[in-house]
Amino acid sequence: MTAQQNPYLVSVKVSTGLSVLYMVVGGLFILLALIALLAGAISFYLILGPLFLAMGILTLMRPYCIYDTATGALGLFSPLGFQVRSFGAPKGERIYYNPATAKVMRALPNGAQKKVSMFGVNKDQLARLIATLPQHQA
């Protein structure tokens, strides 16, 4: 179920700039692979080029993370579409935003706190996620 079908889901995608960077690097790797093939050599760029190009296209379409406001669960997803990690209430954790450090954090059941990586995500969608998360003052 996507965020458009369920109003309780807040999705955050990778920023367009990072997706375009993946595609540009993929295109350059393909170009280097073609030059190597014309020179009579086989290069590992032949594999990396299409891989980076596919990653760039997939990150444009798929979410990086989805927060379920009904359950308090945060799922991080691979560009291929499957869930890589899950945090939040189903694991006994609490997801919150810490304004002092400007980070999305998770409080573990043992009391420890860990940062949730939000590197390279769309800033507008991240702001929407932060608005739905509980605020915590340290």
Q: Which of 78-82, 93-97, 101-105, 107-111 has the lowest mean pLDDT?
A: 78-82
CA 66 distance to own-chain centroid: 9
DSSP conformation class of 120: T
3-state secondary structure 79-90: CCCCEEEEEEHH
Confidence band, pLDDT 50/70/90 cuts, at residue 34: very high
Per the prediction, the chain carries an average pLDDT of 91
Specify the pLDDT at position 130: 95
Which among 77, 138, 66, 68 is positioned nearest to 107, based on CA atoms? 138
Between 6 and 94, whose confidence is greater? 94
Contact 34, 27 (CB under 8 A): no
- In this predicted structure, what is the pLDDT of residue 90? 87
Give the pLDDT mean for 44-72.
Answer: 94
How many Cα atoms within 13 Å fall on the side-chain side of residue 30?
A: 12
57 and 24 Cβ atoms separated by less than 8 Å: no
Residue 6 pLDDT greater than 90, yes or no: no
Band the pLDDT of 2: cuts 50, 70, 90: low
The pLDDT of 14-27, averaged and rounded, is: 96
